[in-house]
Amino acid sequence: MSTGKITLIVIAALFVIVGFWGCNGYNGLVSADQGVKKVWSNVETNYQRRTDLYSSVIKTIEGSANFEKSTLKEVLEARSKATQIKVDINDPASLEAYQKAQANLQGSFSRLMAVAENYPNLKTTDAFRDFQTQIEGTENRINVARQDYNKAIEDYNLRVKRFPGVILARLFGYTDKPYYKADEGTEKAPEIKFDIK
């Protein structure tokens, strides 16, 4: 066999190897990207479940005569803002805005629940009791979904940043994605005071 034929065979083999690696690497990036999108949709689904539960209990509370309307209005406004934000999982700013809106909704709803404690007739309704049971499970689901999202982001970001995958990632426009971060201030332990006399 001549040197020219051997060179052509080696070049052809290199093209096949690089082509196989490129296809495999690209498909891995696409799979990881789709995995992140799927897990993010699970996060959104769980937040939607919480919003639906909030809506259900809000209707119960609205039916209660003489309930503090300002607290209820605050929750309704927070719910409206939280449901209007669209997240681009490639954009850290939109993810942060979504997190803040959800935290605001949860905070205003917590205040609503504290006020509801002063209404014994409300606390005895079946809808209110069911809500209290379901919201705990929903909050746990949200937490698990956020953890799953961050795991998917970690896997994706490793594919995008590690060599030689970084070459394909840059070539095809894949960049790292932001993690779901804890709400500001949650890293500090809450101060608990008991006023026992």
d(CA 50, CA 174): 32
What's the pLDDT at 124? 58
Cβ-in-10-Å burial (0-12, 13-18, 19+) of 136 comes to exposed
* Domains of the chain, residue spans: 3-172
**Beta carbons of 105 and 80 less than 8 angstroms apart:** no
| Gap between the terminal Cα atoms of the chain | 99
pLDDT of residue 186: 53
What fold is seen in the domain 3-172?
A: de novo design (two linked rop proteins) (1.20.1440)
CA 7 vs. chain centroid, Å, equals 53
Residue 107 and residue 79: Cα distance in Å, rounded? 11
pLDDT tens, N- to C-terminus, the chain (197 residues): 778 787 877 788 887 787 777 788 888 889 999 999 999 999 999 888 888 888 877 777 776 655 667 777 788 888 888 888 888 888 888 888 888 888 888 888 887 777 777 766 666 566 667 777 788 888 889 999 999 999 999 999 999 999 888 988 898 999 999 998 876 655 454 453 434 34
